């Protein structure tokens, strides 16, 4: 989670999006320590951040607070990522919840900085991102790695993508004939997939398979 520590990076223009002026001021000072002549644009809510990114495609960095009051943070982050023109977006947040960080990275953020981190660590994280890497605080990175390892050990780990798709329909109560129609496969093929799913999950029937799947988020 902490990659590419090269000191070679470009920082000419940055956006800081946070509804607290103290945070914006503090982040501005850190960016100026890194590059004294950096141009810093500020936004006080999600909608303003989206507008600034659209108006300034030459941004080198976006620092984005996940908890601004006007819109859902993850939804706004996803919109920013979709329209970023290759600008790295780093979430800055007071929460250190590992699940939140996992979702932020899944959406496409280039890093996650906890507001509790030291100035030195924040600057290091920004440098890593500007150099093309991904930054997450060490403790959270370790927790994410443990979580990934745990997911790999679930009964669902050996299912193929197609079998996972079929399993989702099983959870929703679809019979084989309707699953076959939905995924454009023969009913015989679906029956084979269902049998393999039951064996992998150690389930005696479809109901048990659905209960196991729901336990793991299906």
Other C-beta atoms lying within 10 Å of the C-beta of residue 78: 17
pLDDT of residue 149: 44
Q: What CATH number labels 13-150?
A: 3.40.50.2300
Other C-beta atoms lying within 10 Å of the C-beta of residue 113: 22
Beta bridge partners of 16: 42, 63
SS3 80: helix
pTM: 0.64
Domain 161-215 belongs to what architecture? Orthogonal Bundle (1.10)
> What tens digit of pLDDT does each residue of 140-198 get?
666 566 655 445 456 777 788 788 889 989 998 999 999 999 989 999 899 989 998 99
Q: Which two tokens stand for residue 96?
A: 């250190």
Residue ranges of the chain assigned to CATH 3.40.50.2300: 13-150
Instruction: Name the burial class of residue 79, with classes exposed (0-12), middle (13-18) and buried (19+) by CB atoms within 10 angstroms of its CB.
Output: middle
Residue ranges of the chain assigned to CATH 1.10.10.10: 161-215
Task: Give the residue carrying structure tokens 């706004």.
Answer: 76
> What tens digit of pLDDT does each residue of 79-132 get?
898 887 789 999 999 887 777 888 888 788 888 998 989 999 999 999 999 988
Residues in the chain: 218
Other C-beta atoms lying within 10 Å of the C-beta of residue 162: 13
């Amino acid at each position: 989670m902490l990659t590419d520590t090269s000191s070679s990076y470009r920082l000419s223009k940055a956006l800081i999006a946070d509804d607290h002026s103290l945070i914006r001021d503090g982040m501005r000072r850190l960016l100026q320590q890194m590059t004294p002549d950096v141009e810093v644009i500020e936004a006080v809510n999600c909608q303003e951040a989206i507008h600034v990114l659209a108006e300034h495609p030459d941004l080198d960095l976006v620092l984005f607070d996940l908890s601004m009051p006007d819109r859902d943070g993850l939804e706004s982050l996803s919109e920013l990522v979709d329209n970023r023109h290759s600008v790295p977006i780093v979430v800055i947040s007071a929460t250190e919840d590992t699940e939140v960080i996992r979702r932020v990275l899944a959406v496409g953020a280039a890093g996650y900085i906890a507001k509790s981190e030291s100035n030195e660590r924040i600057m290091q994280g920004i440098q890593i991102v500007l150099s093309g890497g991904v930054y997450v605080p060490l403790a959270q990175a370790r927790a994410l790695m443990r979580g990934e390892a745990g997911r790999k050990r679930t009964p669902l780990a050996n299912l193929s993508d197609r079998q996972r798709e079929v399993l989702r329909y099983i959870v929703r109560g679809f019979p084989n004939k309707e699953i076959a129609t939905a995924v454009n496969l023969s009913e015989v093929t679906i029956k084979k997939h269902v049998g393999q799913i039951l064996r992998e999950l150690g389930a005696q029937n479809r109901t048990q398979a659905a209960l196991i799947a729901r336990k793991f988020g299906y």
